[in-house]
Amino acid sequence: MNKSELVEALASRNGLTYKKAEEIVNIVFDSLSETLISGGRIEIRGFGSFVVKDYQEYMGRNPKTGEVIKVKPKKLPFFKVGKELRDKVNSKA
């Protein structure tokens, strides 16, 4: 599912216009992004949690040239699935 499919599902299930549903989805995504950017943690019970992990600088290798390069420290969002969602997905398998 992509963002436009999510907007369509929200609109059709709740009798909203596409524009109003898109606005709601954008507000939710913006709020989630702002929380992660500010270093916060997001927990949605039954679904999962989002945190930002810090990765230290390390030495890597350019796959094309084989040259050793220094990879700068970075922060990456990380998602950990919740037990309820994991159980639902596994019961369908």
Give pLDDT tens digits for 48-78. Answer: 999 999 999 999 999 999 999 999 999 999 9
Residues 57, 70: contact at Cβ < 8 Å? Answer: yes
Residue 83 confidence (pLDDT): 94
Residue 23 confidence (pLDDT): 98
Q: In angstroms, rounded to a whole number, what is the distance separating the alpha carbons of residues 66 and 11?
A: 50
What's the token pair of residue 41? 């943690």
Beta strands in 1-93 (DSSP E): 42-44, 48-55, 58-61, 68-71, 74-81
Residue 17 confidence (pLDDT): 96
**pTM greater than the 0.75 cutoff:** yes
Residues 38, 52: contact at Cβ < 8 Å? Answer: no
Residue 80 confidence (pLDDT): 96
Q: Give 13-49 pLDDT, tens digit per residue.
A: 999 999 999 999 999 999 999 999 999 999 999 999 9
Provide the residue ranges of all domains of the chain, joining segments of one domain with +. Answer: 1-38, 40-93
- Choosing among 1.10.1040.10, 3.30.160.40, 3.40.50.620, 4.10.520.10, the CATH entry for 40-93 is 4.10.520.10
Q: What is the residue whose two structure tokens read 């929200």? A: 10
Residue 93 confidence (pLDDT): 55
77: CB partners within 8 A, 6+ apart:
36, 50, 51, 52, 53
